[in-house]
């Protein structure tokens, strides 16, 4: 399952979804909203996505993982909208017979999400805001 959603996401639900009886490992990654960014106190984050394309790109990441590690039990959910400190922005769950492949595939998935999936986050502080990724622009 590859989904952009406005609803809160729960890591445990996704790991249960991907697990099968042939799996000895389920690796779950949760990206959560941090209260500080480069020394500034973050008030909240605003996430936005090009939903149709983002879901397609996440599915492509899944296909890359299948090609490289032979893993096809993988799900990614990314939340959009207003997120407070401590809330979960993204969850990746990967299940495989052995842990090494699951760890590697999970790390690969989050790295690729940050490169190619059209999702943007705005940091809002007490005294300003910025779309992350264009500070130098």
Residues interacting with other proteins, by CB under 8 A? 31, 47-50, 52-54, 56, 78, 89-90, 110, 113-122, 131-134, 137
Query: At its nearest, how many Å lie between other proteins and the CB of residue 98?
Result: 26
Which lies closer to other proteins via its Cβ, residue 24 or residue 133? Answer: 133
Contact yes or no for 25/102 (Cβ under 8 A): yes
Q: Alpha carbon 119 to chain centroid distance?
A: 10
Report the residue number, 70 or 133, with the smaller CB distance to other proteins: 133
CA–CA distance, 89 with 87 (Å, rounded to integer): 6
Given the complex with other proteins, which of 19 and 122 has the nearer CB atom?
122
Closest CA to 95 of 122, 123, 65, 117: 65
């Amino acid at each position: 399952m590859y989904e952009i959603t406005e609803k809160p996401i729960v890591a445990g639900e996704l790991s249960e979804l991907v697990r099968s009886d042939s799996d000895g490992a389920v690796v779950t990654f949760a990206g959560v909203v941090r209260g500080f960014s480069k020394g500034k106190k973050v008030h909240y984050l605003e996430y936005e996505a090009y939903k149709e394309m983002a879901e397609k790109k996440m599915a492509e990441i899944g296909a890359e993982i299948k090609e490289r590690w032979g893993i096809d039990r993988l799900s990614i959910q990314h939340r959009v909208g207003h997120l407070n400190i401590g809330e979960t922005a993204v969850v990746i769950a990967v299940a495989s017979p052995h842990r090494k492949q699951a760890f590697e595939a999970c790390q690969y998935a989050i790295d690729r999400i940050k490169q190619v999936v059209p999702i943007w986050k705005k940091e809002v502080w007490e005294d300003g805001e910025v779309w992350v990724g264009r500070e130098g622009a």
